[in-house]
Structure 1
Amino acid sequence: MAAPNIVGPTTIRAKTTFLTAVTGATGTVLLNNAASSGKAFQVTTLYISNIDGTNAVDVTVEVHNQDDGAGTGYSLCSTVSVPADATLIVVSKDTPIWLEEDRSIVVNPSASNDIEVVCSYLEIS
């Protein structure tokens, strides 16, 4: 596991990933940086939209210290209530986070199928 040199990268790719029909209980992996990928991800935006027109939903977003949502999760936000038809900005370009190799981001709503998630990031190798 060797993190790439971000001072002189070979490749920088702008990417966006999405989640729909997110389930609760164990959460859903939003972004996964596999061990030995040779990449670092700079997460620049992470939006969570409550698509339920009536009820609020509580959302927890964690960075896990292993890929595939394994290991220990560390909260970016914990049980934050997102009102009906509203959007929560968890990460913005003003406060980006880095996802090193063998790390993942997991989203866990209190109610299944009530949120959609959009995440933009730079993949650096």
Structure 2
Amino acid sequence: MTLRFLGKDTIDGGSPTLFDDGHRYVLQGWIVTDPTVLSWFDLAGHETIAEVPKELMTFLPEGVIVPRGSPLVLDRGETYVFQGPLITDPVVLAQLDLPGHETVIEIPKTVLEVTGDLEPRGADV
């Protein structure tokens, strides 16, 4: 499955990135290491949390918004923390530049709100 690049927001040398694989969004973000934040979550074995700049979500297609609640689990001011299934598929991972301080999760399209006609943004990777 080929990922379609939607956008990237680089802050402090990080590279949070948003992709679309046709069935879900693939969110690359920072691994959360803050023990206080981690203590708030009861993660299933296949889940993790990822933190990204709020601006990254402006790359979703026009008309798509992320509602409060799962997968958007925490607003930290300038960043969002998302919870979701950890992506381990080697075909997907091979398409990413994933440094050791970042992780990648899936966001099912079914959990997002569509407010109008969808207009895709971004380009193929």
TM over 0.5: no
So what's the TM-score if we normalise by structure 1?
A: 0.29
Which structure dedicates a bigger proportion of its chain to helix? 2
Which structure dedicates a bigger proportion of its chain to strand? 1
Larger radius of gyration: 1
So what's the TM-score if we normalise by structure 2?
A: 0.29
